[in-house]
Amino acid sequence: MASGRRVLFICVHNSGRSQMAEAFLNLLAGGRFYAESAGFRPTAVYPPVIEVMQEQEIDLSGKKTKNAFEFYRQGRLYDFVITVCDESSENECPVFPGIVKRLNWPFPDPEKVTGTQEEKLAGIRRIRDSIKARIEDWLKEFQD
């Protein structure tokens, strides 16, 4: 297990937003953080998310979705639990129990982006870039 502050990103299905956030934090934090992600109704990583993350040289193709409640049952503890559900899904977004710092960073659901395939990918790229920028900004809060 990596050292550093432990972070859990949660969204409903663990199929897009939380997967992207986990990957970016682990990539950009330089070992200062260890991120995981989960959902409370895990499905599968959304293929267009895999595609747009590959453009950033991040391979999510082998990633499996995980269940937040299973993490809780295992007694996993986190310094931060960050929900990334959009406002329309906020009532479905799970709350991870325990004594942690909770944050909410709402992002649109990649699976709800509509249009042609290229329009969908463009929309998911915007979500990806927003998640990356939010993590970069957040990491600046922890610079010594």
Confidence at residue 86, expressed as pLDDT on a 0 to 100 scale: 72
pLDDT tens, residue by residue, 4-30: 899 999 998 999 999 999 999 999 998
Q: Are the C-beta atoms of residues 68 and 8 closer than 8 Å to each other?
A: yes
Catalytic residue (choose from 20, 93, 124, 127): 93
CATH code at position 37: 3.40.50.2300
pLDDT of residue 91: 61
Q: Any idea what DSSP says for residue 69?
A: H
Share of the chain above pLDDT 90, in %: 68
Catalytic residue among 29, 50, 82, 85: 85
Q: pLDDT tens digit string along 71-102?
A: 888 988 899 999 998 765 556 555 666 667 88
**Count of structural domains, the chain:** 1
| Catalytically annotated residue among 7, 8, 10, 11 | 11
Q: What confidence score (pLDDT) does residue 98 get?
A: 67
Q: Could you tell me how many residues make up the chain?
A: 144
CA dihedral (36, 40, 41, 46) positive or negative: negative
Distance between CA atoms of residues 141 and 25, nearest Å? 14
Catalytic residue list contains 85: yes
23-60 residue pLDDT tens:
999 999 988 999 999 998 899 999 999 999 999 999 99
Structural domain harbouring 95 = 5-140
Residue 57 among the catalytic residues: no
